[in-house]
Amino acid sequence: MDFDLETTEALEDAAGKWWMLLVSGIAWLVFALIVFQGSYTTVYAVSILFGIVAVMAGVAEFVGLGLWTTGWKWVHGILGVLFLIAGIWALVHPHNAFATLAALMGLFLLVKGIYDIMVSFITKQQFEMWWLQLVLGILEIFLAFWVSGSFRRSAILLVAYVGIIALSRGITDLFVAFKLRGLKKELATA
């Protein structure tokens, strides 16, 4: 790879923080496991669970701002704000949140799926396992349409969607962590 000095310094800085995404990915996977093991049957439990996930996702976006280059920071900042707003709204108005939860999850999965597909094609030349993120993005888009369908009335399925969001976030964070770790090794040898 041949980058200018500023880009190389930004890449080295981001690559040096690969472990943050590793920890984040593991935490999301543990949270997904807890969600899938729980028994959530009330409207309030589902809404509060979603609120917690959304707030965690917002905080994770802000913590991860140091990992992204200048061009992507604003996207993650906007996502962080949107996640925090949605999470706080769900915690404050759990009954109303349940009514719109399927639409919010569908929108989240659609945006995340499109993002993962874009990133997989952008990084196709740099990473040999780019196709894994492409498959994840396609799956997320499929789930977005499934969530928005007639399944929105079941509390159990909504809990499953919260678990799927946590699971996909954990897998994505782990994937990016190992991409950054590989980049760190590559930059060290260059």
pLDDT digits (tens, 9 = 90+) for 149-165: 655 555 666 777 778 87
pLDDT digits (tens, 9 = 90+) for 116-155: 899 889 888 877 778 888 988 898 898 788 777 655 555 6
**Euclidean distance between CA atoms 93 and 170, whole angstroms:** 27
**For the whole model, what pTM was predicted?**
0.58
Take residue 100 and report the two structure tokens written for it.
């719109």
Question: Angle, to 10 degrees, between the axis of helix 18-37 and the axis of helix 155-189?
Answer: 160
**Euclidean distance between CA atoms 45 and 176, whole angstroms:** 31
Take residue 14 and report the two structure tokens written for it.
């981001």
- Residue type (1 letter), 147: V
**Euclidean distance between CA atoms 30 and 8, whole angstroms:** 34
